[in-house]
Amino acid sequence: MSSGFRSLPEEIKAEIDSLGEVQLVFGVVRNFSDQLLADWTGRLELEQVGDDEWVGLPPASTGRWSKWNVNGREIVRRDLPKVFRSWTTEAPNFNGNGSHPITHSREVFRKQRLYGQQIEAAVTRRDEPRDSLVGTVLLTLQAPYDEDAEQAYLYAASLARTWFGSATAYSLDETGIPQVPDQNVSWDFLPDGTVEEVREAVMKKFGGSAPPREIEIMIDRLEKVQSLAPEKRLVGSSGLQRYIGYMFGEDFVAFENPRVGNALYLMYGDWASLSQLSRSQLLASRAGDFGRIIHTARWFERLRLAVYNYRHN
């Protein structure tokens, strides 16, 4: 997982300002997967407190900001004027009988105790605007940006980045629920890649968060889809997040998420509109023409048949 920030980035300050006069928390939103849920709740030692909610105090071992959150941190305030510090020691008398106190004084920088507030983490599963996991730091702050509260922003943002890998400011509604925006997916076309390039891309994206066996399964899936000679490849960053699209025609795209546990989706016709939906919205929708292939032993045969039927009809 990522570490925190040395100082609060300017883009986060601007993000806080953009929310207006609201309360906010820092966190992250990711498309739901069982593996991600297990990672967050297990690594952060969260306990389930509801049907779709987990809360707990992450252990100090998850990073230095977690350690500071649990135990606190003392810093030297070199930005403030020095102060005189005095202390007393006992010195022996010259005649060898007893001792007498001696007082010493010198100028020193002030010290300040920071953090150590035992702020908890929360993970919730949401159905809207898409099937997702929302990880948040349970420290409520105020927008717009206030420079006097910069240490509090830095604290919360660094905890979010340490625990969940990223830090975004989300406004709270009147009931204290983080407001997660519904982002439309934007697809970018990619040039065809060689087997080596596919392997390198998968290792770069998932190598730090997936076991080697799962990496091999991912690469095998992508290589098999690529073997059907799609016309183009495209990728997006939200909506069907982390899916790679293989275009076999202007009105037929296969969307594959190489992570284990995810299905392959076939979209016909207006695939650009269908791909704006979350998985839960797509499955509940009766509009459009799409199919879903679970990765059973014969998943590739089903995909190959779908591509054959499309090209010959």
* pLDDT score of 238 more than 50: no
Instruction: Name the least confident of 31-35, 108-112, 142-146, 262-266.
Output: 108-112
* pLDDT score of 151 more than 70: yes
Amino acid sitting at position 32? F
pLDDT bucket at 51, cuts 50 / 70 / 90: confident
Instruction: List C-alpha distances in Å: 285 to 133, 274, 282.
Output: 21, 9, 5
pLDDT at position 217: 80
- Mean pLDDT, residues 128-144: 88
Residues 6+ apart with CB under 8 A from 275: 185, 187, 236, 239, 240, 245, 253, 255, 267
pLDDT at position 220: 83
pLDDT bucket at 242, cuts 50 / 70 / 90: low
Query: Concatenated DSSP letters for 25-93?
Result: EEEEEEE--HHHHHHHHHHTT-EEEETTEEEE---GGG-HHHHHHHH-EEEEETTS--EEEEEEEEEE-
pLDDT, tens only, 272-282 = 777 766 565 56
The neighbouring-strand residues paired with 247 are: 232, 253
Cα–Cα dist 55/111, whole Å:
33
Model confidence pTM above 0.85? no
The percentage of residues in the chain with a pLDDT greater than 70, rounded to a whole number, is: 79
- Mean pLDDT, residues 147-165: 94
* pLDDT score of 305 more than 80: yes
User: What phi-psi label fits residue 58: left (phi over 0), alpha (psi between -120 and 50 degrees) or beta?
Assistant: beta
State which fold the 10-72+115-171 domain adopts: Alpha-D-Glucose-1,6-Bisphosphate; Chain A, domain 4 (3.30.530)
pLDDT at position 240: 47
* pLDDT score of 142 more than 90: yes
Gap between the terminal Cα atoms of the chain: 48
Q: Which residue, among 139, 121, 156, has the nearest Cα to 49 in the 3D structure?
A: 121
pLDDT bucket at 295, cuts 50 / 70 / 90: confident
- For the chain, give every domain's residue range: 10-72+115-171, 75-106, 188-312
pLDDT, tens only, 75-93 = 666 776 877 788 888 888 8
**Which is more confident, 129 or 264?**
264
- Mean pLDDT, residues 249-263: 78
C-beta atoms surrounding 151 within 10 Å = 13
